[in-house]
Amino acid sequence: MVAAIVIFAVVARLAIWLLPHGMVRKIVVIIDDAVLIGLLLYFAYEMFVYLWNRKPPLGNGAAAGAAIGALEDRLPPQAAKLLGGVVRALAHS
């Protein structure tokens, strides 16, 4: 995807540099810019869909619970209680 964006950007700059001023140059630049904007929008859409559908970083609740339990053992009781409340709130949302 990045290569396609770079190629279209380079083609537009080459067209501006090599083609004489005229209607063909304007048409080539407009088409190239439209395709480049379309590629950027498509790439943004695909990235949004990927990020929207990805799984949470901690796959299962058992591993997260074990990690939080091990951390709570080493924290002062007040901090452990606060951390437990935050984890429960995040688990329900």
Map 25-55 to HEC letters.
HHHHHHHHHHHHHHHHHHHHHHHHHHHHHCC
Number of H helices, E strands in the chain: 4, 0
Please tell me whether residues 47 and 73 are part of one structural domain.
Answer: no
| Residue 78 confidence class, pLDDT cut points 50, 70, 90 | confident
Query: Quick one: pLDDT band at residue 49, thresholds 50, 70, 90?
Result: very high
Domain encompassing residue 82:
61-92
Q: Based on the fold, state whether residues 86 and 49 are members of the same structural domain.
A: no
Q: Quote the DSSP letter at residue 22.
A: S
At residue 22, φ and ψ (nearest 5 deg) are 165, -170
Q: How many CA atoms lie within 13 A of 64 on its CB side?
A: 13
pTM strictly above 0.75 = no
Tell me how many domains the chain contains.
Answer: 2
Whether 67 and 37 share a structural domain: no
